[in-house]
A = this chain, B = another copy of it.
Amino acid sequence: MQVTAQAGCLTGECQVRVGTIDIVATKTVDDWKCSVGRSITVLGERWTILILREALLGTTRFADFERYLGLPPDRLADRLATLVEYGVMTKESYQEPGQRRRPSYHLTPAGRELHLLIGVLQQWGDKNLPRPEGPTVVRKAGRTGRPVHVAFIDDLGYEVPADDVVTIPTGN
């Protein structure tokens, strides 16, 4: 896979290396054949995962994302714009009495599917980078109250150990 400079990169975060041959630029979704590359073009920017975590906890207002995450508003706006562009969130607005309309952001069904991604990162961190105090959250099934984890599962519904999962090229 050859990385080449892009005329217009997705996020504007082109990485310039001084004293070497090239400019390594951010690729766009369609520069990737592999879905992992395509996904991280949309989801892999710094802060985006934390924005999604907050959104899955119910945050919708721009001002609340800004306050909870403590990131600069222009960076927050940039990340949210990418998520809207690729169908992860929709941009709406709300208005409190006597105030101007303000922006809010809402997960689409594709965005809500990313609960799995946040769940994997939490589960892996809980196990492999644990705090002495233990996890900050647990995940349960709302209907039954039973604890849940993220796993590979086959088409009959049986859990498959990650070590038994094989990756097969399709030739596409």
Contact = CB atoms under 8 A, between A and B. Distances in A.
Q: Which label, helix, strand, loop or mixed, suits the secondary structure of the A interface?
A: mixed
A63 interface: no
Contact of A134 (B36, B143, B172): B172
Interface in A103-158: 110, 112-131, 133-144, 146-158
Contacts of A159: 153, 157
A164 to B, nearest CB: 5
A150 B46 CA distance: 24
Contacts of A167: 56-57, 137-139
Contacts of A2: 70
A136 B40 contact: no
Sort chain A's interface into a size bin. Answer: 35 or more
Given A38-B131, A140-B165, A146-B155, 4 more contacts: A29-B129, A34-B125, A43-B121, A141-B166
Interface of A: 1-3, 15, 17, 20, 22, 24, 29-30, 33-40, 42-44, 46, 49-50, 53, 56-57, 68-72, 75, 86-88, 110, 112-131, 133-144, 146-160, 162-170, 172
